[in-house]
Chain A
């Protein structure tokens, strides 16, 4: 520890601290632009110049290491003169167009200019004008305002993992830009908007729609991936205008993924439903809530009476709140049915674990691991911020490996990588088990048949990355959880974890995957395989939220009654009989339990649109109408407390209920690797125009490696027809050299591919 003095305050700081760190630790604010705690030190803006005793010149606080006995003056004449001098330089070429700048009111340059600027400029030469750049549909540019702090450039390189932005040019001709003709395509690109201290980079969807001081700021939780990023939702006139990160070092740090940030556009979509609708004689009629709810209650009761409780099913996604899912479950239980399911994209429902599957530890602990193996995950697209966090961990020495049916670049250094066919993921894990067993001289692993399993160098490299490490983890992603042999895969991963001493984790596929399990909204299995007489769909679009969407659609179309509790029309309008307009996450209170088992409750940030009602209240009334016991809740908090039922941690476990025997299997023929594209994942992202306009939102392609393309007679850029079961799709062909032979990668739950079947399975592919 070093003893120093800042502005006369004595303090002790750890060795290696900078003057800026030290000042922050005692709440002394030193003005700055380029400094950011998550980015490398650039020391280029020079705004943080301070006086240090015995130093002849002012020194930048952000880059000056503290030495013992150092005396720092942040407001001395020397410091203030230097800071004012820098401010003058920053302003001479700045347009000072604050009245028409979206950053106005939340601009660090504006704020500091009040303290350090002068009322008139001494610069009488012509000001610099810098052409704007096209960075894509999310980021708007006004480059003349840029003060060259390079935060955005450092972000793309250091945090997002690939330098998409640079500062070409020299001297005052230096300009921030992407490579000519390229937009910024990182899945976490929107953070540069927050990082930009001026109005050079602003939100394109938000542009000119509100001034910062008109906005109310309300806390919420992201409804997308299993991380549970904390949000500040900014609201004006009962509309969500913008979403920003709420800093939470344990979860999202100070970042958001683009879908956390920009999916709010869907909340204001034209497709929002505002009144209950009942289809009568094939025509939709608006109804009041009482009529609609009675219609639903009576209809369900009649069907149960006529066909038994097994003839109805409740379907929701893992994006629904804990309270909603609990009440849906209770509603069905009250009707005598256990048919409630949220794991709609699972192909294998056979896995039985002791508790709710989860990360197995906190997110921060995972990031502090010495070695991590990711099994079956397109991590950057499934869990963008977790991918970012692991990327930072690799820089600090973590060994990261991947076992996947693809070789997608994690934009970091991998210690090892195994690429397999999607139907041989289990065998991939077996090869790792064998590699570890060989290295440890273990002859046999119980329940696992390793005969004939091949050990590759890649498997040995991954095994070696775990060897001798104290804190290691193995995590299963969406691709793993959606695999047709998930139970075996999970069991094999558990065996590998036991063998290596690693913590096994499951990456929650959605915001409330863990919560859905906690309230028992899983376990019914595929409720579309044997069609039911009635379906209650809670914010579920069967075409896009279910693994075998064709099968689901047919089941729904054949049902006697379909009740859609939905925020949006579109799909529901086609096949439902009753539509109850329910609130998206922004208009209801609720709780999501994230992948680390943390229950995060939030309030509605705007009032429900039109006659929209929070779904938990709709279920409460339905329960009452059906005369079910224990449906008298005054608040969602009451529902939550009962739903969580005490200690959550005790109910989390990835351990198998009964051991599973695993044998390697062969697989041949052309197989589909189906995954849900990042911006098709849920009903909000699907309706966010700006996200849809990004590179990740682009139309689906059929991808295969060169060998497979040649074998199938396909040409890059040409068209292919893919047939699966009874459906087919026609797609443009693209190369993905990272795939195994005979694998065709075709997006799932996408408008172009919704006629296709299971995510993983045999397909026929021909030239179109």
Chain B
């Protein structure tokens, strides 16, 4: 279910931990699987569990506890906006509203063309850069004023 490249990445993560503690790589392995498939199907979670050597429900616990895992389809670009208080004081909530209007979707929704999924996030530990938006669980976009949002979205196919 995963490419040799993804499996090699998982193996690199596994190598960080003692041989009898493969479970430690569960979160990385699920992340690597999600990066390849964009979201985690139950089959993918079960595959990862098997690869690591843990009970499927144990991997499912991890996939459902950490909120950067997606267990339903998401668009090509997942945008997560922090609306927590420190960000909100500097326009975080407004950035979220602006994105909703611009994309015509609410939080947790995907645009009809499958291009964007918008999520409301919790503190990303980057309050000084507010408003912040996390792109595809990976790149932190800082100072997301409406202009900056327009510019960023234009870059994303």
Query: Which of A111-119, A173-181, A735-743, A752-760 forms contacts with chain B?
Result: A173-181
For A181, the chain B residues whose CB sits under 8 A away are 42
Q: How near does chain A come to B89, taking the closest CB pair, in angstroms?
A: 25
Q: Does B61 reach chain A (CB closer than 8 Å)?
A: yes
**Binary contact track B35-72/A, C-beta < 8 Å → 1, others 0:** 00000001000100000001111101101110100000
B57 touches A170 (CB 8 A): no
> Once the chains are docked, how many angstroms separate the CA of A157 from the CA of B60?
15
Q: In the complex, which range does the number of interface residues on chain A fall in?
A: 10 to 19
Q: How many residues of chain B have a CB within 8 Å of chain A? A: 13
Query: A168 within 8 Å of B by Cβ?
Result: yes
A165 within 8 Å of B (CB atoms) = yes
Encode A176-208 as 1/0 by CB contact (under 8 A) with B.
011111100000000000000000000000000
A166 touches B42 (CB 8 A): no
For B54, the closest partner residue in chain A by CB is A163
Does A86 interact with chain B (Cβ within 8 Å)? no
- Residues in B whose Cβ lies below 8 Å from that of A166: 55, 57-58, 60-61
**Would A168 and B55 be within 8 Å (CB), given that A179-B46, A180-B42 are in contact?**
no
The reply on A56 being an interface residue by CB < 8 A is no
Nearest-CB residue, chain B, relative to A162: B55
Q: Which of B42, B58, B65 contacts A169 (CB 8 A)?
A: B65
Min CB distance B19 to A, Å, is: 14
Bound together, the chains give a CA A693 to CA B60 distance in angstroms of 26
Contact B60 A179 (CB under 8 A): yes
| Inter-chain contact A178/B67, CB cutoff 8 Å | no
A179-B46, A180-B42 known; A164-B64 Cβ under 8 A: no
CB of A178 within 8 A of CB of B42, answer: no
User: When the two chains form their complex, are residues B57 and A179 in contact, meaning their CB atoms are under 8 A apart?
Assistant: yes
Is A167 interfacial (CB 8 A cutoff)?
A: yes
* Interface residue ranges of A135-188 to B (CB < 8 Å): 157, 162-170, 177-182
A157 to B61, CA, bound (A): 14
Chain A interface main SS type: loop
Chain B residue numbers with a CB within 8 Å of A178 are 57
* Interchain Cβ contacts within 8 Å, total number: 39
A168 near B57 (CB under 8 angstroms)?
yes
Residues of B within 8 A of A177 (CB): 57
In the complex the two chains form, what is the Cα distance from A447 to B138 in whole Å? 71
Q: How far is the CA of A163 from the CA of B54 in the complex (A)?
A: 9
Docked CA distance A182–B46 (Å): 11
Contact check, B56 vs A168: say whether CB atoms are below 8 A apart.
no
- A165:B57 contact, CB within 8 angstroms: yes
What would be 25 A-B contacts, judged by CB atoms less than 8 Å apart? A162-B55, A163-B54, A163-B57, A164-B57, A165-B57, A166-B55, A166-B57, A166-B60, A166-B61, A168-B57, A168-B61, A168-B64, A168-B65, A169-B64, A169-B65, A170-B64, A170-B65, A170-B67, A179-B42, A179-B46, A179-B57, A180-B60, A181-B42, A182-B56, A182-B57
Query: Is the CB–CB distance between B61 and A167 below 8 Å?
Result: yes
- Cα–Cα, bound, A167→B58 (Å): 9
Contacts of A170 in B (CB 8 A): 64-65, 67
Tell me the minimal C-beta distance from B119 to chain A in angstroms. Answer: 15
Report B-chain residues with C-beta under 8 Å of the C-beta of A167: 61
**How many angstroms between the C-alpha atoms of A163 and B53 in the bound complex?**
12
Chain B residue at smallest Cβ distance from A167: B61
Q: Determine if A163 and B65 form an interchain contact, defined as CB atoms under 8 angstroms apart.
A: no
Closest chain-A Cβ to B128's Cβ sits at a distance in Å of 27
Complexed CA–CA distance, A163 and B60 (Å): 11
A178, closest chain B residue (CB): B57
A164-B57, A169-B64 given; name 4 further pairs at CB < 8 Å.
A157-B55, A163-B57, A166-B57, A180-B42
Within 8 A of B (CB), among A493-538: none
| Interface hub of B57, B63, B64 (most chain A Cβ within 10 A) | B57
Q: How far is the CA of A652 from the CA of B135 in the complex (A)?
A: 73
